[in-house]
Amino acid sequence: MSDHSAIKSMIAKMKKAVDHTLSEFSALHTGKASPAMVEGLMVEVYGSQMRLKEVAAITTPDARTIQIQPWDKTVIRDIEKAIQTSKVGITPATDGGIIRLPIPELSRERRKELAKVAQNLAEEGRVSIRHARRDGLEILKSEQKNGEISEDDLKRFEKEVQTLTDKHIKEIDEHFERKETELMSI
């Protein structure tokens, strides 16, 4: 792999697109409890916005329950409010200093909807990767035009750019297939 700055920048953008897509996938819940479903929720506490994982321990005592235990009991109401106003779609049940989120079983229709959402997220990721490829190629072509790199270098870089693009798109496709299988298996 080359050490060219345009290619390094392009790889960073592609990696960021893949990471963002995976992060979005983890927020799609499959009927199985996962801390990732709520840990990024923003909670207004102490006059500022903090992520839920910064103010509480989040565990899954079983496959159908997320348990949230705030480190400071005075923020329980704030956490409940954040959960209720989020798009998680789960009603919190508070018992003493612990908040439990019972994960409902997903209907076949809901699973299909979520699979469609995952498909759209994957496509957004692929589009971001293609944008990074286009930006990288534009820089390389302008460098060739300005005499900074040779025609042969440009050709070599173009092949490398395509290989990297294919690799990152394949990574998103593989993660999408796994997510889709996870969503559709009952």
pLDDT at 105: 80
Query: Taking the model in full, what pTM does it have?
Result: 0.68
pLDDT digits (tens, 9 = 90+) for 53-108: 999 999 999 988 999 999 999 999 999 999 888 877 788 999 888 999 998 887 88
Per-residue model confidence (pLDDT) at position 1: 60
Residue corresponding to tokens 């329980």: 76
CA within 13 Å, CB half, 182:
16
pLDDT beyond 70 at 157: yes
Q: Cβ neighbours of residue 2 under 8 Å, at least 6 residues apart?
A: 156, 157, 160
b/e string for 131-159 if b means 16 or more Cβ within 10 A?
Answer: ebbeebbebbeebbeeeebeeeebeebbe
Domain residue ranges in the chain: 5-26+107-184, 32-102
Average pLDDT of the chain is 90
CA distance 140 to 134: 10
pLDDT interval class at 26 (50, 70, 90):
confident
Please check whether the domain covering 32-102 is classified as CATH 3.30.1360.40: yes
Q: Predicted confidence band at 186 (pLDDT cuts at 50, 70, 90)?
A: low
Domain 5-26+107-184 in CATH: superfamily? Answer: Ribosome-recycling factor (1.10.132.20)
Query: Quick check: 160 pLDDT over 90?
Result: yes
Q: Whole-angstrom Cα distance, residue 139 to residue 170?
A: 24
Tell me the per-residue pLDDT of 104-144, one tens digit each, with 9 for 90 and over. 887 888 888 888 889 999 999 999 999 999 999 999 999 99
- The one-letter code for the residue type at 133 is R
